[in-house]
Amino acid sequence: MTLVFFWTGVSATMAACWRELAARSGVRLVVFLELPRRPDTAYDASDVLAGVECRLRYADDPIDAAAFDAEIAALRPDAAVVLGWRSVMCRAAAEGSALAGVPKFFAFDMPLVWSPRKVLAPLILRRYLRRFVGAIVPGERSAAYARHLGFSESCIERGLIGLDTAACAEAARARAARTEYPRRFLYVGRYAPEKRIDVLVAAYRRYRVGVADPWGLTCCGMGPDAGLLAGVEGLLDRGFMQPAEMPRMLADHGAFVLASDYDPWPFVIAEAVAAGLPVVCTSACGSAVELVRSWFNGRVVGPGDVPGLAAALRWIHDREADLSWIGQRGMPLVAPYAKEVWADRILAICGTASAGRHG
């Protein structure tokens, strides 16, 4: 079976999933990957994508539609997964003749938000969406949007994003082997407005003044709001971390925190849960629906709620002796997102669609 993915942006989690899928017997996976000319991360793409058969292009490169179509047709794909509709490359693939008779799945992570653009999307995208046999989304919030776009429930699959849970579990074991539980919060993500670094910093400061021996806060990332982290007592800005460094970071911290006011399905929450960390996040984080149970393996608070976020950090602080098992009881929640399960899922979905095409 030959499967093709048309994707934008690079992430270590998807690369791990692609490698797992490509390693399956009888599978050839080709990923057409579009990257921004000026990336907003410092990923070493060549290192992250090692072992993945990948065709790279930049988002501002012009596309020769005929040549692109011929390149796809030469692969004789059995099924395709196309990410979204904004990318020129993805639209060209979905609308080209090479995939006209090939089962195509529409992949996206956006939640349903009642904005004029999303309300009108089923009309605006009607001709485009008719080209797909189904949708693959991360979780329930995106599934609601898929239904709004016109996909029937039987044509919507959850589990678009997977991760290397084994590597994260190593972090949990390393933390458990420490003589003392690590008393530091961890944030990983872009320093961008929607991540609400301002709220995170304000809540952390509020938390610190309310306790006698406050935890530290480590932030890992890059972006325009980096300046908001400067000069904050107890806060350490580590800058961007390469994927290979993340297991150690997860092992060296005691809880994960994310203050976003828009975050469709942040996979960093999945990594944290898989690493046995309690999680504090906002309800705007889509992956919290599947992976964080408030008062069980963490806390979920409202977006922009500085007092609420500070109280959640205090909740973690006050349960230091119990945090190891609080984090561990969340780990089964992430098991369905393991890269091995992800590969099984994609093979089943695409195999069924391909068989229907030839049957």
Q: What does the pLDDT read at residue 159?
A: 96
Position 357 scores a pLDDT of 64
pLDDT, residue 64, reads 95
- Which residues does the chain have with pLDDT short of 70? 39-43, 357-359
pLDDT at 243: 87
Mean of all residue pLDDT scores within the chain: 95
Q: Which domains does the chain have, with CATH numbers?
A: 2-162+338-358 (3.40.50.2000), 165-336 (3.40.50.2000)
Residue 162: its pLDDT value, please?
96
Instruction: Please report the pLDDT score of residue 117 as a whole number.
Output: 78
* pLDDT confidence of residue 40: 60
Q: How many CB atoms lie within 10 A of CB 322?
A: 11
Question: Residue 323, exposed/middle/buried by CB under 10 A (0-12, 13-18, 19+)?
Answer: buried
pTM: 0.94
Question: What pLDDT, on the 0 to 100 scale, is given for residue 34?
Answer: 94
How far apart are the C-alpha atoms of 166 and 328, rounded to whole Å? Answer: 14
Give dist(CA 33, CA 255) in Å, integer. 33
The CA distances from residue 332 to 117, 157, 273, 302, in Å, are 37, 20, 9, 25
